[in-house]
Amino acid sequence: MVWSRWQRSRKRPASNDESSSVTVSSSLSPPRPASSRKIFPSGIKLLHNGEDSAVDIIFIHGVTGDREKTWKTKSATNPWPQTLLPSRVPHARILTFGYDAYVADWRGMVSKNRIGNHSMNLLTAVATYREDDGTNDRPIIFVCHSLGGLVCEDALSMAQQRPERHLKKILYCTYGIIFLGTPHHGSGLAHWAESLAKAIGVLKQTNKEILAALKSDSEVLERVQHAFHTMIRSRGQDGFPPIEITCFFEELPLPGVGTVVPSHSATLPGYVPIGIHSNHMDMTKFENVDEPGFFAVTGELRRWYREISACASNPITGIGQQGPVVNQQDPQYVVPYASNPDFVGRFSIMQRLSDIFGPNHDLKRTTNHVRVALHGLGGIGKTQIAIEYAYWAHKAYPNMSIYWVHASNPKRFLQSVLKIAQECKIPGHDDPKADKSALVKDWLEGNNCPSWLLILDNADDYEMFFSPLKDEHDIPDSNSLGTDSRLGRYIPECAHGSILVTTRNKQAAVKLTRNRHLIEVEQMTSTEASQLVINKLEDAGLDHNQVALLTSRLENLPLALAQATAFIRENTISVEQYLQQLTSSDSHLTELLSQPFEETGRDSEIPNAVISTWILSFEQIRKQCSLASEMLSLMSYFDRQQIPKAFLPYRNNTVVDDSNDSHQSEASADLEQEKALGVLKAFSFIVTGADEKTFNIHRLVQLAMQKWLIVKKVENLWAENALLILSKLYPYGRHETRRVCNEYLPHAYAVLRYKIPLSGNMAVARASLLHCMSGLMSIQGQWKNGEELLVEARDLQKKELGVEHRATLASMHNLAMTYSNQGRWVEAEDLGVQVIDITKRVLGEEHPDTLTSINNLATIYLNQGRWDEAEELGAQVLEIKKRVLGAEHPTTLASMHNLASTYLRQGQWGKAEELGVQTTKRVLGAEHPDTLISMNSLAFTLKEQGRDKEAMLLMGKCYQLRKKVLGPQHLYTLNSLENLNNWRM
């Protein structure tokens, strides 16, 4: 290690006089335009130069801040770093850096500098200042508020990348950073700044790029954070000590704004978080040395200064290095994977792991044994997070041992435990008769063992931990286990040990952690996913739009992205070429995601391909709960979103009978169904919808399941089951059922897409579904779509059921009306007459189906202007329906409406008004489409009678109701609007 840079360097003469301040501007900074705006205090200013200074403490303000006013109370003449800090850290040179960070300045033009410009200004200003007086080897501590923290992070990342030696030295000499309310994960400050700008009427002058950096998931923020954490990791790998970091967060809201930077945003994973009892703007201002905030901040500065001084007097030890381990046993690091250089993001999860584990890692002995589980979909990145945390913890807590255990099956578990015994030379490890697992457990729980972290990776099968092993071939040798073959008894538990579990199965996570500290790993953010692709392909010049399309298509799933980039590199193709293959069809996508590849941090015995790794989970689910496997098989053929619970089977698809114990059977079936759904949710294959009555399945999981069913040669079986369920549950489309029909429609289309052999029951089921869907198309005015559905339904029914079957006749009848609604009168009449002839012969002249067909033929005549024929048929049908069905039956009312329309066309206004709308409204309801049809006709009647005002009011009401019930673009709604507009002219 290079420790000479911590030696004290030549100093400037001590001075506290403000006249000695020196402002250094970067040579790379753009010249300021001349304006009437005040000169913003920028660059470096000396606040205090202690006698025999050994460290530079540099303060950096935040948004709308000032290099002096940020650190000064209203009553103070000078900032506290100048007046109060020297008494706490006397041998320090105290500097402050200023830059134009006004988000919105109502006094003049706003700086167009971005964070990157400010960062470079800081870097060059500090380097030049220190080079000028030969103090460029002196340690540096930064104290940053708000945006200033991002500027500091970016500056240090730049220093690593720059070729200039004097700039690199800033990074090498940085010992520690104090962050005060820095928005590491976005900030509400941007919203406050925008509100402020609007209030003063200068929104057009807002520096939008600075604001964007303060919003969650901002690309600028992600870039700064990723580069900073990459720099931190590589710094350790280059042999330099870690940078000390302490994060302070505000505990009080800003009046009128609230909490600007919440604690989760103000802290970095793995570093100490401390609260300051103040709001965001006042957390940088201290009146006296007794204030808790001042004491906490300067306490960190004094501690770091003492460490720097100790290093300077004893350079062999090195800054921040630990003394010899007190325990009788040396710490061990048994992790089978190298650090992943492509790891990106996951800051919040790393922070949670640090927060939960930190106290146990940090102390030699605690009173608590801590277990944490990372659970989530296979390929979501759980193992990679565990590896990253293991390497971070190894550096942060060098006295702690870390052990890795493969837990995908009993054999792998026992092999990993045996390796720990051998690597650590545990007494008895070479005894062929010893129970190695028991030896390791006892050794880890022993008082002489240093604190440890045990990582149980891929612990998906909880039964192998809590139930006796059944498969003897999974046990390496007869002495691997004692008389009790439950592996859970070998998991150590003691106050100085912690356990991190990774699992696809939330149920396993609950059992292994005793339902404590469960962390769900979800998909990456779009920015994280894009950065992963760029890292994997080692090409920062990639087309960001193409990368975004790739990550979106692969649902930001880390393993899928790793597999895609491996394929791209191995085959020397572009992202665009890969996308063309990926988007050509689902089968292409499935094939691409089945390709094997090599990936850092993957268990060699677990397949890397996305499809293959999920198939392992499918097998586990089938073994654990056959009903869950059936459900997932069915769900793979529905639309992936909002799958109703009603579609999913009970045990063996049994139907509850009406026997005395039916209630008990139904309760038992409900319980079985809930358990099965719980298994699927535990593996993250499905999630509950917002209404808690539906479920969503991951798109790629759905494709993988279909692939698995094809391999098992049962794909047609489940496609047929899905079709049968939809044909049974999908209601015929009418006003009363339209909500359910619309909810089920995506699933109906999804089921119909699969090509299965159509004969017998399957053909009839498909025809029934098509017919019911056509009803929805009709009431929505989508008659062309309805026609396509009805033509296929009719042809299937003719073939399987015959032309005289009621289902076939219903489809023919509705098809005739669809032709009529499209103005195809000849086709409508020919088919309508054909249907009437058959129904009269098969069902009888007064059967309701026959009467409905005659009534609709009358409508076809009416639309052709054949009013006398329409009147004759209409009056005939109406009289029969009144006698057979009753005067208020819905189909009687429909005939009444049609006859009223005929009278209207003939100019028989009195008869038309007499039939009216009141009965229809009373029976069907004021908003029923048939009521609205009658209302529309009555408005015409009133108009023809010269009662214009009444006609206008009624047509206006009809239009509003049709817009509400049918939608603004429905043909009937548009017709009412057109009539209304014409009458107003």
- Token pair 């840079």 is found at 5
**From 21-25, 259-263, 919-923, 924-928, the region with the lowest mean pLDDT:** 21-25
**From 359-363, 386-390, 641-645, 789-793, the region with the lowest mean pLDDT:** 359-363
Model pLDDT for residues 41-61, shown as the tens digit of each residue? 888 999 999 888 889 999 999
Top-confidence range, 117-131, 307-321, 639-653, 842-856: 117-131
Residue 374 has a pLDDT of 95
Element (H, E) at 94: strand 92-98
- Asked if the model's pLDDT at residue 518 lies above 80, the reply is yes
Residue 313 has a pLDDT of 43
Element (H, E) at 895: helix 890-906
Residue 283 has a pLDDT of 93
Model pLDDT for residues 135-150, shown as the tens digit of each residue? 888 999 999 998 899 8
Element (H, E) at 174: strand 174-180
Residue 199 has a pLDDT of 33
Residue 36 has a pLDDT of 42
- Between 75 and 112, residue with greater pLDDT: 75
Alpha carbons within 13 A on the beta-carbon side of 169: 21
Split at pLDDT 50, 70, 90, the class of 797 is very high
Residue 561 has a pLDDT of 83
* Listed residue (84, 467, 98, 465) closest to 298, CA to CA: 84
Split at pLDDT 50, 70, 90, the class of 848 is confident
CB 618 within 8 A of CB 629: yes
Top-confidence range, 136-145, 330-339, 566-575, 921-930: 136-145
Q: Which residues of 550-559 are buried (b: 16+ CB within 10 A; e: fewer)?
A: bbebbbbbbb
Top-confidence range, 124-133, 343-352, 606-615, 881-890: 124-133
What DSSP letter does each residue of 233-247 carry, written as one string? HHHHHTTPPPPEEEE
Question: With a threshold of 0.75, does the pTM exceed it?
Answer: no
Residue 745 has a pLDDT of 93
Model pLDDT for residues 167-197, shown as the tens digit of each residue? 888 998 999 999 999 887 654 444 434 433 4
Where does residue 805 rank: exposed (0-12), middle (13-18), buried (19+ CB within 10 A)?
Answer: middle
Model pLDDT for residues 331-381, shown as the tens digit of each residue? 888 888 888 888 887 878 888 888 888 766 655 445 578 899 999 888 888
Average pLDDT for the chain: 77
The arithmetic mean of pLDDT across residues 759-767, rounded, is 90
- Six-digit token pair at 301? 């500065």
Residue 752 has a pLDDT of 93
User: Could you tell me which residues come within 8 angstroms of residue 385 by beta carbon, excluding any fewer than 6 positions away?
Assistant: 346, 349, 350, 353, 374, 502, 521
The Cα–Cα gap between 402 and 646 comes to 48
Model pLDDT for residues 521-563, shown as the tens digit of each residue? 988 888 888 888 888 887 756 788 888 888 888 888 888 888 7
Alpha carbons within 13 A on the beta-carbon side of 567: 24
The Cα–Cα gap between 390 and 413 comes to 19
User: Could you tell me which residues come within 8 angstroms of residue 721 by beta carbon, excluding any fewer than 6 positions away?
Assistant: 633, 634, 637
CB 319 within 8 A of CB 241: yes
Percent of the chain whose pLDDT exceeds 70: 72
- Six-digit token pair at 409? 């099956």
